[in-house]
Every structure is written in structure tokens, then in C-alpha cells.
């Protein structure tokens, strides 16, 4: 056996023996880096290409790159117990992705990512308002603190707030609805089934949006679109694996790596540097989300 084979065998053995939290940390770190690079690539693409077209190729590329994974799963991926309920995932996926792509054209990337971390807090608020679960005072307080962190970032009244900020909030809210639907459907569906439905089902919706402002990309733009699809596929696959091996409360701190990764990438690519208010607001949102996730894990 060659030295390379022995080295690979040792790596495989070490990988299998890693504790779940370490595996989750690895996968979520991969997810954070992948999605941060997707954000930068989208910012490059949105300069010349319509948002609908970029969003379409984001999901189409992710579906193509993840196709081998779906095929390997076999029949379990195409077993849909509640087709009409599962089909709504496609709508939420399309709206969320389209909103965030539109926002990336104007909002600093670090700000958009930081505000996006409101999603787990919005999940709590929606679950309470829709009567899905009872929410105590401490979790409501954590949710309000998280929204205060968002206000610290946008500082309405103290600086000009682009209307695209509302698109980031809309994306976070729709993603929260998506999460609640996945939580519900996850009881009788394989996770990869839900990913396939969300990505594949969103394509007709996004194709209709892209049709009205279609612009055939040149070679450079096509390469950027391919990179966006590949990054989205890697991020999606890594995120599913992270949440599959560890509790959400353990994964959340590593998910937060997306913010510094995006801030660094945005600074290198565009010279965008997050200010003190963005950093402070992001830490407040993260602390609130982490507290909420730990409360849910204990429950």
C-alpha cells in the first residue's frame, strides 16, 4: 500500500472518530465560507445582469451540482408524503433568494448578512403568533433584543436607510417561514427531498421572473454564474450535514462565521469595511439567536 493510500486511510479513520460537534463545526465553516463567496460573486454579477436571472442560475446551478447526491440517495429522495405542502417550499425559496440578491446590489454585504441572522428570532416570533408553540417571556425578550441589534446596524433616523434594507428583512422573514415548513415536513420527508423540491420547484417561478429582463451573459458573466451555483450547492450541502450531526444550538456559533468571512471577502473585493455599529449590532443579534437556540435545545 502506497504512502498516499495510508495517509488517506488515516484521515478517514480520524474523520469517523471525530465528535459530532467537531464535524458540525467543519461543515458549518465550509457553509459559511461558501455562502460568503456566493455573496461576493452575486455583487459582481448584479452590476450587469438582472437579479431574476442571477437568482435563477443560482438555484439551477445548485440543483445541477447536487444532482449526483440526489441520485445516490435513490428512491428515498422522490418519496413525497405531502406534495402540496412540500410544493410551497419552492415559493418561499424563490422569494427569499430573489429578495437577498436585489438587496446585495445596494446594501453592504456584511450588513445584509448580519441582518439575515435575525431568521431564528423571527422563527420564534412566527411560531408564537401562529400558535405553533408557546413562547415564554425570556424568549420574547431575546427576540426583541435581536431586533434592537438590527436597528443598531441600520440606525433609522441617524443615517439614510436604503429601501433595499426592507428586502433583507423580507428575505429573513421568508426564510423563517421556510424553516418552519421544513421543521414540519421533516417529520415524514428526507432532508435531501426537501432541498430538491425547494431548488427544483423554484426554477419555473424564477424563470418567469428572469424572462422579462433576460440578458444573455458573456463568457466572464457565465463563469461568475457557474461559481454562484457551485458555491450555493456546497453551502447547501454543508449546512444540511452540519445540522444533521449536531443540535442547532451547537451549530449556531459556527454559522456566525459567515459574517467575518463575508466582511473579509467584501473588503478584499470592494473595499467595504463594516463599521463599529454593524459589528456591535451583529454581536447583539448573534447573542440573542444563540440564547434562543439553546432554549429550544433544552426544550
- The answer to whether residue 78 is domain-embedded is yes
pLDDT one-digit tens code per residue, 146-161? 888 888 877 665 556 6
pLDDT of residue 3: 55
Range of the domain at 31: 22-298
Q: What pLDDT band is residue 290 in, cutting at 50, 70 and 90?
A: confident
**Quick one: cell of 6?**
495510508
Give the three-state DSSP class for 159.
strand
- The answer to whether residue 161 is domain-embedded is yes
Cell 421543521 -> residue: 183
Cell 469517523 -> residue: 16
- The answer to whether residue 277 is domain-embedded is yes
Q: Which pTM does this prediction carry?
A: 0.82
pLDDT higher than threshold 50 for residue 119: yes
Would you say 114 and 275 are in contact if contact means Cβ atoms under 8 Å apart? Answer: no
- The length of the chain in residues reads 299
pLDDT one-digit tens code per residue, 35-62? 899 999 999 999 999 999 999 999 999 9
Would you say 278 and 114 are in contact if contact means Cβ atoms under 8 Å apart? Answer: yes
Top pLDDT among 6 and 193 is at: 193
Give the three-state DSSP class for 245.
helix
Q: How far is CA 34 from CA 76, 117, 136, 229, 265, in A?
A: 27, 16, 35, 10, 11
- The answer to whether residue 16 is domain-embedded is no
- The answer to whether residue 2 is domain-embedded is no
pLDDT of residue 8: 43
- The answer to whether residue 27 is domain-embedded is yes
Domain count, the chain: 1
Q: How far is CA 247 from CA 84, 93, 142, 240, 251, in A?
A: 29, 23, 19, 12, 6
- The answer to whether residue 56 is domain-embedded is yes
DSSP 8-class letter at 246: S
Average pLDDT in the 158-175 region?
79
Average pLDDT in the 219-244 region?
87
pLDDT of residue 147: 83
Amino acid at each position: 500500500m502506497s504512502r498516499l493510500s495510508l495517509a488517506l486511510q488515516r484521515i478517514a479513520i480520524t474523520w469517523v472518530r471525530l465528535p459530532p460537534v467537531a464535524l458540525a463545526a467543519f461543515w458549518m465553516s465550509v457553509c459559511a465560507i461558501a455562502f460568503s463567496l456566493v455573496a461576493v460573486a452575486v455583487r459582481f454579477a448584479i452590476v450587469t445582469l438582472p437579479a431574476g436571472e442571477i437568482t435563477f442560475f443560482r438555484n439551477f446551478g445548485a440543483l445541477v451540482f447536487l444532482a449526483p447526491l440526489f441520485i445516490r440517495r435513490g428512491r428515498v429522495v422522490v418519496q413525497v408524503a405531502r406534495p402540496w405542502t412540500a410544493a410551497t417550499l419552492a415559493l418561499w425559496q424563490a422569494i427569499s433568494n430573489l429578495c437577498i440578491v436585489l438587496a446585495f446590489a445596494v446594501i453592504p454585504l456584511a450588513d445584509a448578512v448580519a441582518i439575515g441572522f435575525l431568521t431564528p428570532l423571527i422563527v420564534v416570533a412566527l411560531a408564537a403568533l401562529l400558535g405553533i408553540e408557546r413562547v415564554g417571556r425570556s424568549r420574547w425578550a431575546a427576540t426583541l433584543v435581536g431586533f434592537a441589534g438590527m436597528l443598531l446596524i441600520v440606525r433609522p433616523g441617524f443615517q439614510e436607510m436604503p429601501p433595499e434594507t426592507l428586502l433583507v428583512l423580507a428575505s429573513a422573514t421568508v426564510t423563517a417561514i421556510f424553516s418552519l415548513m421544513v421543521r414540519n415536513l421533516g417529520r415524514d420527508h428526507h432532508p435531501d427531498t426537501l432541498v430538491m423540491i425547494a431548488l427544483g420547484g423554484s426554477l419555473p417561478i424564477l424563470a418567469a421572473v428572469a424572462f422579462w429582463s433576460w440578458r444573455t451573459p458573456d463568457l466572464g458573466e457565465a463563469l461568475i454564474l457557474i461559481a454562484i451555483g457551485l458555491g450555493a450547492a456546497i453551502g447547501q450541502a454543508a449546512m444540511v450535514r452540519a445540522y444533521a450531526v449536531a443540535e442547532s444550538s451547537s451549530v449556531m456559533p459556527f454559522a456566525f462565521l459567515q459574517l467575518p468571512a463575508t466582511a473579509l471577502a467584501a473588503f478584499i473585493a470592494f473595499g467595504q469595511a463594516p463599521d463599529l455599529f454593524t459589528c456591535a449590532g451583529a454581536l447583539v443579534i448573534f447573542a440573542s439567536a444563540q440564547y434562543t437556540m439553546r432554549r429550544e435545545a433544552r426544550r
